[in-house]
């Protein structure tokens, strides 16, 4: 059977650094609250006029170069995001156009919030295994700064999010490097605990109007404690599931790259898995929660820092709105 590997990877974040102290000015919060509750010190926010696809394109170009292919080699584009350029169409056709891909390759988006990147990985893995496509561009990109409210009323979610983009190229592997397995999960009973409802057909006959905005349904809300409790349970469960499927133990894992939503969540997960803290990669202090982009950004930085290299086994895991959660085992 064919196996898929990550042949290229790249990320991009905006230049504009927003510190916790900057947020103190707009959100009735404190640096101390943000650091102690989440571990975040700063995040990047795009400047007005920058759309999600603008942020994503440099990440895509880096991944394409890193894979040593050209844009014309790409056979399919799949994007994970909750902050697309438009309500519709999706962002993938926009990326196709901005990259100058003239072939009519499939290009579509999926919506799996913070778990999106591992959902993408499973989709791409299946395409490669079946032999349907040879080079697949997967993009996790979000401009959460365009969704949050920069006021005291928005502080509960506003301080947590940042903007970022990550991309990978999947190809067939001819050696031991491969995606060993992916595991996706969901539990719709979590729908009410995290999300932004408008614009949406729930509000039929109008997806959005003044009243919907006045009632703040277009802004993200989360039941932080409930989400926290579920995240620290589900991510270790998903990793243990992947370990068992691959007949591995936690000692075989070089690094865990988990969705960066809260440093305390990462610490609690490491503790539950008996994972030494240095094997849990953390970069939330620099970028905050970039939703679909946290995992490719973290993987890219960890690789640059020499935290894993060819032949090492790494584990990815994520938890987010839906609820959705996931894990992936990769031999680099
Ligand atoms: O990526 C998707 C998945 N998301 C997550 O995994 C996030 C999971 N949840 C969390 O990370 C944490 O629950 C939060 C960081 C969101 C919040 O931490 P917490 O320790 O659960 O705080 P809390 O929501 O229970 O709020 C505690 C207090 C409240 O005040 P009272 O009621 O105790 O007086 C809030 O009003 O902190 C207050 N508060 C703030 N204070 C200063 C909430 N947001 C802020 C803020 N600055 N930004």
- Exactly one of 12, 20, 60, 114 is catalytic; name it: 114
- CB-CB contact of 3 with 173 (8 Å): yes
What are the beta bridge partners of residue 179?
Answer: 330
The per-residue pLDDT for 259 is 98
Alpha carbon nearest to ligand 1 atom 4, residue: 261
DSSP string across 108-162:
EEE--GGGHHHHHHHHHHHHHHHTS-S-EEEEEEEEGGGTS--SGGGHHHHTTB-
Q: In the chain, which residues fall in CATH 3.40.47.10?
A: 4-176, 179-331
Pocket of ligand 1 (CB under 6 A): 29, 33, 37-38, 114, 155-156, 159, 224-225, 227-228, 231, 261-262, 265, 289, 320
Per DSSP, the three-state class of 274 is coil
Q: Which fold has domain 4-176?
A: Peroxisomal Thiolase; Chain A, domain 1 (3.40.47)
Q: Which helix (H) or strand (E) holds 215?
A: none
Q: How far from chain centre, in Å, is Cα 310?
A: 23
- Name the token pair of 330: 């990769």
Alpha carbon nearest to ligand 1 atom 17, residue: 224
The mean per-residue pLDDT over the stretch 118-136 comes to 98
pLDDT in tens, 171-213: 999 999 999 999 999 999 999 999 999 999 999 999 999 999 9
pLDDT band, very low/low/confident/very high, at 77 (cuts 50, 70, 90): very high
pLDDT band, very low/low/confident/very high, at 2 (cuts 50, 70, 90): very high
| Single pTM value for the model | 0.97
In degrees rounded to 5, what are phi and psi of residue 318? -150, 155
- Name the token pair of 311: 């032949």
pLDDT band, very low/low/confident/very high, at 36 (cuts 50, 70, 90): very high
- CB-CB contact of 167 with 108 (8 Å): no
The per-residue pLDDT for 69 is 98
Alpha carbon nearest to ligand 1 atom 18, residue: 37
Alpha carbon nearest to ligand 1 atom 2, residue: 320
pLDDT band, very low/low/confident/very high, at 267 (cuts 50, 70, 90): very high
Using most ligand atoms within 8 A of CB, pick from 25, 140, 224, 226 the residue to mutate for ligand 1: 224
CA 34 to ligand 1 centroid distance, Å:
9
Cα–Cα separations (whole angstroms), residue 75 to 135, 145, 241, 299: 5, 31, 31, 23
Using most ligand atoms within 8 A of CB, pick from 20, 37, 41, 186 the residue to mutate for ligand 1: 37
Task: Looking at the CA of residue 321, tell me the nearest atom of ligand 1.
Answer: 2
Task: Looking at the CA of residue 231, tell me the nearest atom of ligand 1.
Answer: 6
pLDDT in tens, 248-260: 999 999 999 999 9
Alpha carbon nearest to ligand 1 atom 3, residue: 320
Question: How far is it, in rounded angstroms, from Cα 259 to Cα 240?
Answer: 16
| 178 in active site | no
pLDDT band, very low/low/confident/very high, at 116 (cuts 50, 70, 90): very high
Cα–Cα separations (whole angstroms), residue 74 to 80, 107, 138: 17, 11, 10
Select from 1.10.3720.10, 3.40.47.10, 3.40.50.1220, 3.40.50.620 the CATH code of 179-331. 3.40.47.10
Nearest alpha carbon to residue 156 among 187, 191, 194? 194
- Give helix 224-245 / helix 263-272 axis angle, nearest 10°: 40
The per-residue pLDDT for 117 is 98
In degrees rounded to 5, what are phi and psi of residue 158? -60, -35
Task: Looking at the CA of residue 38, tell me the nearest atom of ligand 1.
Answer: 15
- CB-CB contact of 280 with 258 (8 Å): yes
- Name the token pair of 153: 């009323």
| 259 in active site | yes
């Amino acid at each position: 059977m064919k196996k898929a590997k990550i042949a290229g990877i790249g990320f991009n974040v905006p230049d504009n650094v927003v510190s916790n102290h900057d947020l103190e000015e707009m959100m009735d919060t404190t640096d101390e609250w943000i650091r102690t509750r989440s571990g975040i010190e700063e995040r990047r926010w795009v400047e007005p006029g920058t759309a999600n696809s603008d942020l994503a394109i440099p990440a895509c170009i880096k991944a394409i170069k890193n894979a040593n292919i050209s844009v014309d080699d790409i056979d399919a584009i799949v994007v994970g995001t909750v902050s697309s350029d438009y309500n519709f169409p999706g962002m993938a056709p926009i990326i196709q156009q901005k990259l100058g891909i003239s072939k009519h390759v499939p290009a579509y988006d999926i919506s799996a919030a913070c778990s999106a990147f591992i959902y993408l990985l499973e989709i791409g893995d299946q395409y490669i295994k079946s032999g349907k496509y040879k080079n697949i561009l997967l993009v996790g990109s979000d401009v959460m700064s365009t969704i949050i409210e920069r006021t005291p009323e928005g502080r509960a979610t506003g301080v947590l999010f940042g903007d970022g983009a990550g991309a990978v190229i999947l190809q067939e592997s001819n050696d031991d490097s491969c995606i060993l397995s992916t595991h996706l999960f969901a539990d719709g009973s979590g729908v009410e605990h995290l999300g932004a409802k408008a614009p949406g057909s729930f509000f039929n006959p109008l997806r959005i109007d003044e009243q919907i905005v006045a009632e703040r349904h277009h802004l993200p809300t989360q039941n932080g404690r409930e989400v926290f409790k579920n995240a620290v349970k589900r991510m270790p469960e998903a990793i243990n599931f992947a370990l068992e499927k691959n007949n591995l133990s936690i000692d075989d894992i070089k690094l865990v790259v988990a969705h960066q939503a809260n440093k305390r969540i990462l610490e609690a997960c490491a503790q539950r898995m008996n994972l030494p803290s240095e094997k849990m990669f953390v970069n939330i202090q620099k970028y905050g929660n970039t939703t679909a982009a946290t995992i490719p950004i973290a993987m890219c930085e960890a690789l640059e820092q020499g935290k894993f290299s060819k032949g090492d086994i790494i584990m990815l895991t994520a938890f987010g709105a839906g609820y959705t959660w996931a894990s992936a085992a990769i031999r680099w």
